[in-house]
Structure 1
Amino acid sequence: MNVSPILPACCTPLDAHWPLPNVLPDTVLLSTHFDPAQLLGDDFQRSAVVPPPSIQRSVAKRQAEFLAGRICARAALQQLQGAGVVPPIGEDRAPVWPPHICGSITHSTGRAAAIVANKQHWRGLGMDLENLLDSERAERLAGEILTPAELQRMAAGSPEQLGLCVTLTFSVKESLFKALYPIVQQRFYFEHAEVLEWTAQGHVRLRLLTDLSAEWRHGTELEAQFGVQEGQLLSLVSIPA
């Protein structure tokens, strides 16, 4: 009989609520809230998660977010395929999923989540969670994150939406990278994609601004979605099989 590993005191019970506009069929998304102040010295051992050396040497916040994310990922895999494994960290710092699985792990202040699917249904999944930027910080960071065309669209928009606009652009490009990098095996950066449009209902349209492979070329458009909850923005890019 399989005994489920103990949930550490620093994590709340896992939540299967879908926080985005469109539910993706054939996926499992789980999240938890975590508190680094509640992390105990033996929590990794009790949770049956082996921390890599870089995590062992890190501060409580980094340890707690890693543990929370891996617990979500293992439980999601268990729910999807009946066998839960903890995805290790690869040489490129990304989670290493079972060969037939695509997935994504994300965390921000006090919250972590993971999504997984079988590759026969989804080729790529990228999910990213960010704290909403205030207007002042968003204005400072806009030039590093937004393309010239995105900056023009931002300037034409509402000043009240500046923080949301920059946070969304940052997050959705992170999600795009997480979804596409395992497929193309080529790094790309903020200037290599642009957000063409987004709606208050949580729908986003993106376009690549560089050639990543014979299939993923400059001008290719993709869809994304996002949701805002408790001062945090969650975005998801999903590539169908």
Structure 2
Amino acid sequence: MDRLPTCCTPLQHHWPLPQPLPGAVLVSCAFDPKRLAADDFQRAGIAQSPSLQRSVAKRQAEYLAGRVCARAALQRLDGRDYVPDSHEDRSPVWPVGIRGSITHGQGWAAAVVAHEGACQGIGLDQESLLDDERAERLAGEILTADELQRLDRSRIGLGVTLTFSLKESLFKALYPLTLKRFYFEHAEVLEWDATGHARLRLLTDLSSEWHHGRELDGQFCLQDGHLLSLVSA
């Protein structure tokens, strides 16, 4: 049984994205930092690091919600009871043989997991949709010159938010495999369509396998003013 903290809504075991990923499990929940109780970590059976104890309620609630989702996803995947700890760079520590990703923000958290036989890497990211004015300001930082040229100005908020989110998902999928950081200018979104399919290309060499020119598929969906994207390698 899921041990839910007070600040979280009941967990959803679902696949909101358009293309199911065979062998992957996704779990999500809503959370409210204002409802965070003093014993919520204890209630959920999740350890709290000293730095997390010192952090604000929002950070504590989003961490807790993400880890609760991750534990439930792993339980659904193969029955194990495991809560991912954090590396020094704050990325989750997954069990050997497991690929996974956690995302949280704006009162919603989710985790996706799969055995390494199902995919080499997996990245999940959730963003609030940018309004057109903010998207215009940020476009030059997030999009490459070619992406800017392809950008549909009539849907600039969606286009910039989607590009940002897909690149975040790409990073989450590939960083654990290469242990090399890369940034917005090191990848481009080649195309995306209304069905929720997207195609990305690496513009840098991360390893012999993940090199400049390598292309990957991505997918996304919109829900309640939020955009969820996933890239699997």
Q: TM-score range by the shorter chain?
A: over 0.9
Q: 1:141 is matched with which residue?
A: 138
After TM superposition, the score normalised by the length of structure 1 is: 0.95
How far has the Cα of 1:67 moved from its partner?
Answer: 0.3
Q: 1:211 is matched with which residue?
A: 205
How far has the Cα of 1:5 moved from its partner?
Answer: 5.5
Q: 1:220 is matched with which residue?
A: 214
Summarize the alignment of residues 91-106 of structure 1 with structure 2, pairs less than 5 Å apart: 91-106=88-103
- State whether structure 2 residue 3 is matched by structure 1 residue 6: yes
Q: 2:175 is matched with which residue?
A: 181
How far has the Cα of 1:55 moved from its partner?
Answer: 1.4
In structure 2, stretches of 5+ residues that fail to align are: none
Q: Structure 2: how far apart are the matches of 1:139 and 1:53? A: 39
Match of 1:171 among 140, 154, 165: 165
After TM superposition, the score normalised by the length of structure 2 is: 0.98
Deviations 1:21-65 (A, max 9, x none): 101110110000001111001100111011222211111111100
**Which amino acid is the alignment partner of residue 192 of structure 2?**
W
Question: How many residues are treated as equivalent by the alignment?
Answer: 233
Q: Structure 2: how far apart are the matches of 1:220 and 1:207? A: 6
Classify the secondary structure of the residue corresponding to 1:122: coil
Deviations 1:131-170 (A, max 9, x none): 000000000111110001111111xx242x1000000000
Runs (4 or more) in structure 1 with deviation over 3 Å come to none
Summarize the alignment of residues 106-145 of structure 1 with structure 2, pairs less than 5 Å apart: 106-145=103-142
How far has the Cα of 1:16 moved from its partner?
Answer: 1.3
Q: 1:40 is matched with which residue?
A: 37
Contact conserved, 1:5 with 1:46, CA < 8 A, in 2? no
Q: 1:31 is matched with which residue?
A: 28
User: Cα RMSD (Å) of the superposition?
Assistant: 0.9
Classify the secondary structure of the residue corresponding to 1:200: coil
How far has the Cα of 1:120 moved from its partner?
Answer: 1.5
